[in-house]
Each structure stands twice: as C-alpha cells, then as structure tokens.
Structure 1
Amino acid sequence: MAFSAWLSAHYEEKGPIKWLAFALELVAALTLFFLMILTCADVVGRYFFGNSVDGATELTEIGIAVLVFAEMPVVTWRGGHVVVDILDRMWGNVALKALGLLSALLMSGSLYYLGVRIYQLAERSLRREEVTELLELPVGYIVQYIAVMSWLTAALMISYGVYRLFTEERS
C-alpha cells in the first residue's frame, strides 16, 4: 500500500489539512515516544545506577508543551472540543449555525490575541537571553512555537467554523 493511500484511509480530512494533521500528529507521536524513553531512562538510572538523567524535568516540561500545542490545531479542526448542546432542540437551524459561527469567531479571535501576547513574551525572553535552569536551553524558542501553534489553531478554528456553517445539516 502506498503511503498516500494509507494516509487517505486513516485521515478523513481533505487536501492540505490531511497532510498538516499527519505532520502535527507525527510530531506529537515522536515527542510522546521521546518522553517515554526519557522517563524510562530516568527511572532506570535513578533506581539501578543511583543517578537520574540530568534535566529530565526540563525536557519533560518542554516535551509536554510541544505535544499539547502540536495536537491543538488537529483537535480544533476535527471539532474534538467539548460542546454543550442543551438548547439545540429548542433553537432553529439558522440560529444554531449563527451561534456556531459566533463561537468560532470568538475562539479564533481569542487564540489569535493569545498568540500575539505569547509571541511578545517570547521576543522578550530571547532579548533577555533567558534559558532553562539546568540545561540552559533558550526558553524563547519554545514560547515562539506555542505562539505559532496558537495562531495556527486560530486559523483552523475560523476555517472550521465557516466549513461547518456551509456543510453541516442539523436535525
């Protein structure tokens, strides 16, 4: 089976979103695998050799940030967020679509603004040459990554909202 056929069989997204979802999930999977190996090495080193992996806590924190923010755009595009639909049966289809678009606009605007503020903090961290405590890794690059992924999530949130507006039929 060719890779593109496998990708089409396992990813329901279409076009470039399918490739983006695969790339982001690959980053998340590799990060999770790295975290698993790091944790195992840290535990084995601590209990059998009396010496843990230096900077394991810092690497775990960075890995979790990479993992969470790599998956955030994918979860957003797939509509995997928690949705409360208590009043859906009482409202009409047009009102529900309008509320869906309004919520997509509010969430994407909030994520965009959050990305701007985070990016400003990243620039400040890079200017001040802030580094992690033990490994002395530059903090600003991780914070920039978080800002960029917030912007990507904002773009996918608004495009998802418009996509759902025109394609979804509610009963």
Structure 2
Amino acid sequence: MIPVFQKIKSGIEVLLILSLLMMVLLTFADVLGRRLFGTPIYGGHDLTEHLMAIIVFCGLPLLTSARGHLSVDLLDHFLMVPSLRWWHVLINFGVSALLLLVSYQFYIAMLDAIDIQEVSQELLIPRSYMYSFISVSCFISSVMAILPATKATLSREESL
C-alpha cells in the first residue's frame, strides 16, 4: 500500500480505538451515575450518538481497504477465475462511485447544516462537523476501493 495511505490508515485506526474507548467509558460512567446517584450524565445520549457515528465511519475506510464488505459467494466458483479479472475491477469502480455519491450527499448535508445551524438536542453540538467527517470518510473509502488490494486480501482471494 502507498505510504501516505498507510499513515492515513494508522491514524484512522487510532481514532477508532480512542472513540470506542471513550464510548465504553461514557456508558460505564452513565450506568454508574444512574444506579448510584440516580442521575445520568447530561448529554450522554448526544455524545454516544456522535461517538457511534465516528466509530462506524472510521471503520468504513478500513473495511473497504481490506475488501471486507458483505458479498454473496453464490457465484464465486464461476466469477473467481483469472479471465474475469475485469469484472472485479469493474465492481471496485462501482463501489468507489457509490461511495463518492454518498460522500457528495453528506457534503451537501454539511452545507445545509451550516445554513440552518443544525445542532444536537442537549449539548448543541453543530451537526456540520459530523456530516463533514462522514463525507471525508466516504471519500477516503472510495479511494481505497480502487487501490490495489493488500497482500492479505490478495492471498485470501487466490485461495478461493
């Protein structure tokens, strides 16, 4: 993999791990607050909602680069032959195009959120930041979809 994309991938992994850790700690503290003191953490729902989006959309580029999306293997016996390599390239470009479309739609949502000053319910966190993060994540995923597969992915496909 290209060194720049390897650094991006490492940064995404760190952000994913930290977001998951923060969500676990927040949930733990929220449950303790409810059980011991009878009060939840103010804004816990907003924070959990944003952390969940970060976790999902941090995982998207990692999953795309590993070629880990769900797929139906019903026709793999016929499609996993060297003469149909063009088909796999076409599918990768199709996935990339769909991810670019999702990225563009979230870019539009970000602009709309800025115009109407959309915020979360309790903590009033601007939604435009989350929409821009999702847009960038989908864009990175679209680039990862057309890059050559990693060595681990190639060996897995060849074993089929």
Q: Same fold (TM over 0.5)?
A: yes
Asked if the contact 1:115–1:151 (Cα under 8 Å) also holds between the matched residues in 2, the reply is yes
Aligned to 2:50: 62
Letter in 2 for 1:101: V
1:26 aligns with 2:10: no
Structure 1: runs of 5 or more not aligned? 1-12
Distance in structure 2 (CA, Å) of the matches to 1:139 and 1:82: 29
Q: What is the aligned-residue identity percentage?
A: 26
Distance in structure 1 (CA, Å) of the matches to 2:123 and 2:78: 56
Aligned positions of 1:99-110 closer than 5 A: 99-110=87-98
1:118 maps to which of 91, 106, 121: 106
Q: CA deviation at 1:21?
A: 1.8
TM superposition score normalised by structure 1:
0.82
Distance in structure 2 (CA, Å) of the matches to 1:116 and 1:82: 23
Aligned positions of 1:4-83 closer than 5 A: 15-83=3-71
What is the number of equivalent residue pairs in this alignment?
A: 155
Asked if the contact 1:129–1:138 (Cα under 8 Å) also holds between the matched residues in 2, the reply is yes
Deviations for 1:109-164, whole angstroms, at most 9, x for unmatched residues? 01101111111011110111111111011011101110111111001111146x89
* RMSD of Structure 2 on Structure 1 (CA): 2.1
Structure 2: runs of 5 or more not aligned? none
Per chain length, whose mean CA-contact separation is higher, i.e. which structure has more relative contact order (CA < 8 Å, sep 6+)?
A: 2
TM superposition score normalised by structure 2:
0.88
Letter in 2 for 1:93: P
Greater Cα offset, 74-83 or 31-40 = 74-83
Distance in structure 1 (CA, Å) of the matches to 2:71 and 2:9: 22
Letter in 2 for 1:137: I
Distance in structure 1 (CA, Å) of the matches to 2:38 and 2:75: 58
1:158 maps to which of 138, 146, 152: 146
SS in structure 2 at match of 1:137: coil
